[in-house]
């Protein structure tokens, strides 16, 4: 489905230009001449992006943006300004704008700004707003193993079955949970995540179940627990393998009965929630060692999803790297950033023990340190460069060749599916057209020529 864009400006010429340029790129564009009209549209329909003029009669751009975000808190917006001062831009961004565009603008400048904003919008809506602006909030996949995992996530999202998501640290277990919630019937309610590894054991029980005033020393007021907050929505027990045996007993009872008591309370609270859990531990081994209850495991593990490590996702490495590059460059307003040949070779050959999270951090670091626009060997951490240098030549060559083959096949199929339309194919891949053209150049691919071109 094409991305929906709302353009708000009192200048008919601007509305016509935006509609013409963005429609040619395959977007679904609607235009309106004032802020009040924009708010009326937003009450009737959802948009992926809004382009709003700063100076308009009646409701101004900043006021329109503030009111629009009260209607749709996840709406991403770009402000048009003919004034172009830093103070104006900063004020608009403080009020919630993702970026600003100076008038007059070029078609290329408009398209570039829109693509960056839509990457941000997709990531924000994918996460349900939980980690605003994070470049890692989209599931980007081309490898067979990850495509299979995505199919499983789509299937389980439609049910209310409990799901246990297993995988190494950094593989995207929480992202998978957010994907399930976003595509479930509970997506209109909260996804409440509790990190069982990060909260001290003596506080975790009160965080989960809440407490009444005076339940313990220091409890000056009562507090709703996370289970209560997840009523009607989804509860994610992140890193469930870190939970103590004593607390496992109480959690099991709450899951079985869909009811619990706050600490210090007599009243039973009933809840309707879906349970997702994740772990980087081998829970079968934990059960054998007596550190995890088998009855709780069976309650949580109705459906088991394994998030594959990045070393098994060879075809995804360059795709993810390009995705993160565009996202982080967009945050810092860095334009025309690309991966140089040396960087591509190093990224494709490294083993990524920290998985997707490590790759994202490496790319973010490279964007911050880079000065010339082309990410090179010197922008990558020495430990990554050094580790690749130690890889045996035959293994490195075989791995690079495998990645090359998988990547070429993925982009070839994308182009074929979209009849050679690069803009449309890039949107499906969730990367920019520029990045897509880079991949085409690397894999020596050409878009199909239309019959009218021959």
How many other β-carbons are positioned within 10 Å of the β-carbon of residue 226?
A: 21
On whether residue 137 sits in a domain, the answer given is no
Q: Kindly state whether residues 178 and 118 are assigned to the same domain.
A: no
Q: Kindly state whether residues 335 and 405 are assigned to the same domain.
A: yes
The mean per-residue pLDDT over the stretch 333-340 comes to: 76
pLDDT of residue 336: 65
Domain that holds residue 322: 311-453
On whether residue 160 sits in a domain, the answer given is yes
What are the distances in angstroms from CA 55 to CA 6, 21, 186?
17, 22, 39
User: CATH number, domain at 40?
Assistant: 3.40.50.2300
On whether residue 131 sits in a domain, the answer given is no
Q: Kindly state whether residues 369 and 418 are assigned to the same domain.
A: yes
pLDDT of residue 131: 34
Q: Kindly state whether residues 190 and 281 are assigned to the same domain.
A: yes
Give the Cα separation of 227 and 221 in Å (integer).
Answer: 18
Q: Kindly state whether residues 163 and 92 are assigned to the same domain.
A: no
Instruction: Count Cβ atoms within 10 A of the Cβ of residue 437 and give its class: 0-12 exposed, 13-18 middle, 19 or more buried.
Output: middle
The mean per-residue pLDDT over the stretch 218-245 comes to: 90
Q: Which two tokens stand for residue 408?
A: 């070429």
Which of 85, 21, 87, 91 is CA-nearest to residue 61?
Answer: 91
User: CATH number, domain at 434?
Assistant: 1.10.8.60
Contact indicator for 214, 310 with CB cutoff of 8 Å: no
Give the Cα separation of 43 and 2 in Å (integer).
Answer: 20
Q: Kindly state whether residues 257 and 346 are assigned to the same domain.
A: no
Contacts by 251-256 with C-beta closer than 8 Å and gap 24+? 251/208, 251/296, 252/293, 252/295, 252/296, 252/299, 254/209, 254/227, 255/162, 255/296, 255/299, 255/300, 256/299
pTM of the model: 0.61
Q: Kindly state whether residues 157 and 277 are assigned to the same domain.
A: yes
Average pLDDT, the chain: 84
On whether residue 139 sits in a domain, the answer given is no
pLDDT of residue 199: 87
pLDDT class for 312, splitting at 50, 70, 90? Answer: very high
User: CATH number, domain at 209?
Assistant: 3.40.50.300
Boundary residue ending a domain (290, 307, 324): 307
Q: Is the pLDDT of residue 449 over 90?
A: no
- What is the domain count for the chain? 3
Point out the least confidently predicted range of 192-196, 355-359, 391-395: 391-395
Q: Kindly state whether residues 284 and 226 are assigned to the same domain.
A: yes
Q: Is the pLDDT of residue 244 over 70?
A: yes
């Amino acid at each position: 489905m094409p991305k929906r864009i709302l353009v708000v400006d009192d200048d008919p010429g601007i509305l016509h230009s935006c509609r013409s340029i963005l429609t040619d790129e395959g977007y679904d564009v609607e235009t309106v001449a004032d802020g009040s009209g924009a708010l009326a549209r937003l009450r009737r329909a959802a948009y992926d992006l809004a382009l709003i003029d700063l100076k308009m009669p009646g409701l101004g751009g900043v006021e329109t943006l503030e009111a629009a975000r009260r209607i749709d808190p996840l709406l991403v917006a770009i402000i048009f300004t003919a004034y172009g001062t830093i103070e104006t831009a900063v004020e608009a961004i403080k009020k919630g704008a993702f970026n600003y565009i100076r008038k007059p603008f070029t078609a290329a400048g408009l398209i570039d700004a829109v693509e960056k904003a839509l990457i941000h919008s997709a990531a924000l809506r994918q996460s349900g707003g939980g980690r605003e602006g994070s470049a890692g909030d989209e599931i980007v996949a081309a490898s067979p193993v990850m495509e299979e995992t995505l199919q499983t996530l789509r299937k389980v999202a439609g049910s209310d079955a409990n799901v246990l998501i297993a995988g190494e640290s950094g593989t995207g277990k929480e992202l998978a949970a957010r994907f399930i919630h976003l595509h479930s019937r509970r997506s209109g309610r909260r996804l409440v995540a509790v990190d069982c590894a990060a909260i001290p054991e003596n506080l975790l029980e009160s965080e989960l179940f809440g407490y009444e005033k005076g339940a313990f020393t220091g409890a000056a007021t009562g507090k709703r627990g996370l289970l209560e907050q997840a009523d009607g929505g989804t509860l994610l027990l992140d890193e469930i393998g870190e939970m103590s045996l004593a607390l496992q007993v109480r959690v099991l009872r709450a899951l079985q009965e869909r009811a619990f008591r706050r600490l210090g309370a007599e009243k039973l609270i009933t809840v309707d929630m879906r349970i997702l859990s994740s772990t980087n531990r081998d829970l079968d081994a934990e059960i054998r060692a007596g550190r995890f209850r088998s009855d709780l495991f069976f309650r949580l593990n109705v459906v088991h999803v394994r998030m594959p490590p990045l070393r098994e996702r060879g075809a995804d490495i360059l795709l993810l790297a390009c995705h993160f590059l565009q996202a982080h460059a967009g945050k810092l307003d860095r334009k025309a950033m690309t991966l140089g040949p040396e960087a591509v070779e190093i990224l494709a050959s490294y083993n990524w023990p920290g998985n997707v999270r490590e790759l994202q951090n490496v790319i973010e670091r490279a964007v911050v340190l880079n000065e010339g626009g082309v990410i090179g060997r010197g922008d990558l951490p020495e430990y990554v460069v050094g580790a690749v240098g130690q890889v045996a030549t035959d293994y490195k060559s075989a791995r690079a060749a495998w990645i090359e083959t998988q990547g070429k096949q993925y982009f070839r199929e994308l182009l074929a599916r979209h009849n050679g339309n690069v803009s449309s194919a890039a949107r499906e891949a969730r990367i920019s057209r520029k990045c897509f053209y880079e991949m085409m150049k690397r894999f020596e691919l050409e878009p199909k020529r239309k019959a009218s071109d021959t």
